[in-house]
Structure formats: C-alpha cells, structure tokens
Amino acid sequence: MIIISNIIKKYNKLEVLKGIDADISTGKVTAIVGPNGSGKTTLIKIILGLVKADFGSIEIDGNKINGDYKYRNNIGYMPQIARYPENLTVVEVLSMIKDLRNRKDSPEEKLLKEFELSGELTKPIRTLSGGNRQKLSAVISLMFDPKILIFDEPTAGLDPVISSRFKEIILNEKSKGKTVILTSHIMSEVEELADEIIFLLDGKIYYKGSLANLLVEKGEVRLERAVAKILEERTMWN
C-alpha cells in the first residue's frame, strides 16, 4: 500500500499540490485523473522520488521513502514520453537497463514477443516509430516483475491490437496482487481498468473512492459524464 499524507508542492509562488491525502491499495488499479495542470504528473514524480515535496510524506509498505532510492527497485514506471539514447539499439538499451539494475538474466524475452518487438532489437532508437518506443517503455516497466506499476497514458500511440493486449497484461498484474497506478485522458480506458479513482483538480482531490461509487454518487452510468459533473459542480462552487 502507498500512503500519501498532506503532500504540498510549490514551484515559486505556484502551489501545484495543496495537501494531498490518499491511500493507494495493493491488488487494485488506481486511476489518477484530472485535466492538464491538475497536479497528476507532479504527484507521480514525487512517488517516484524524482521531485521532492515541500511538505508531507509518502509511505510504501509501511516505510517512509525519505530519499532512500532503493525502494524504486520495486517500481516499474512507464512515462507518457520516454527518452532513450538515440544512437543505441533496442537490445543495447535493454542491456543498459539491466546493468543499471545489476541483473544478468533476460526477463524481457516473453514481453518482447507480447509487444511484437522481437524483430526490432537491432534497430537504433532513432529509427523506431512512436508506437514502438511506447512498446519498449512498456517492456522496461514490466521486465523485473516489480510490486508497484505506474503507467502514465500507457496506450497513447499503441495500435488497437497491442493496446488491448496491454490492458490484459495490466489486469493480469493486478490479479497477482500488485499495486497499479494509471493515468489516462481516455475515460473509457479508465472504466475498463480502474477499481479506484483519484480525481485531481487545481492541486486538490475532488473525489477519491471506487469507480462504482462515483457513478452512483453522480447518478451516471459513464465515467465521462460523472467527471463532467465534478467539473460543473466545481464551477458552481467558485
């Protein structure tokens, strides 16, 4: 479980996160959703230790992270846009990642087949399509069987077949009891995958709880309409 307690983050005078409290459960897919600028990416980067919060704490499995980088070994992260050395081949990037993690095995072979990347191994990164770069990011996020998985807009740029396969993989990882965090602007995708929703807006949480309860609370059958109601209500409050 990940426990987020009173996280505050400012960039100069801009307060990006305004006292975020949330529990992210093991064995579930939790979707962090909200419009651009709501604080989703900053919150994820704080969980990853890439950004330091100004105030508050994050516990993972009962341990406060407190700058100890070792906890990241249990996290698989797939960014929305990944950057790899353009001159390296796919297999060289995978080898580099394994060296950084001090792993000598080849945990990626099955994943390369799943994502139809086996034929791309000797190609330089600069020659890969956007979709194949996304597939490579997916392989890297999954290859060490991490306990926590964080996917930022994971299906962006993937063709329908691979996108569907990837969703099956996400649900399979959840069934293994892993903690899965997902961000997506595609509400139908969130409906398909998520158990829990954290809705961020202007650095605050406007809803946290189950997807099913949100639909009941807003009197809607589709997540897109329920989210629209949150935005409408927020406009009225202001």
Q: Which residues of 24-38 are buried (b: 16+ CB within 10 A; e: fewer)?
A: beeebbbbbbbeeeb
State the pLDDT at residue 238.
54
Pair of tokens at residue 72: 């990241």
Cβ atoms of residues 91 and 120 within 8 Å:
no
Calculated CA dihedral for residues 176, 83, 87, 141, nearest 10 degrees: 0
State the pLDDT at residue 236.
63
For the sheet containing 204-210, what is the strand order?
75-78, 148-152, 179-183, 29-33, 196-201, 204-210
Cβ atoms of residues 153 and 175 within 8 Å:
no
State the pLDDT at residue 231.
86
**Residue 133: which of 158, 170, 110 has the closest Cα?**
158
Round to whole Å and give the CA distance between 109 and 106: 6
State the pLDDT at residue 82.
85
Half-sphere exposure of 15 (CA within 13 A, CB side): 11
What residues pair up with 89 in beta bridges, in sequence order?
A: 124
Type of residue numbered 45: K
Half-sphere exposure of 124 (CA within 13 A, CB side): 6
The per-residue pLDDT string of the chain (238 residues; one tens digit each, 9 = 90 and over) reads 999 999 999 999 899 999 999 999 999 999 999 988 899 999 999 999 999 999 999 999 888 887 777 888 899 999 988 889 999 999 999 999 999 888 877 778 899 999 999 999 999 999 999 999 999 999 999 999 999 999 999 998 889 999 999 999 999 999 999 999 999 989 999 999 999 999 999 999 999 999 999 999 999 999 999 999 888 887 665 5
Give the residue ranges of DSSP H helices in 86-210.
90-100, 109-114, 130-142, 160-175, 187-193
Instruction: Tell me the CATH number for domain 2-81+145-237.
Output: 3.40.50.300
Query: φ, ψ for residue 2 (rounded to 5)?
Result: -110, 125
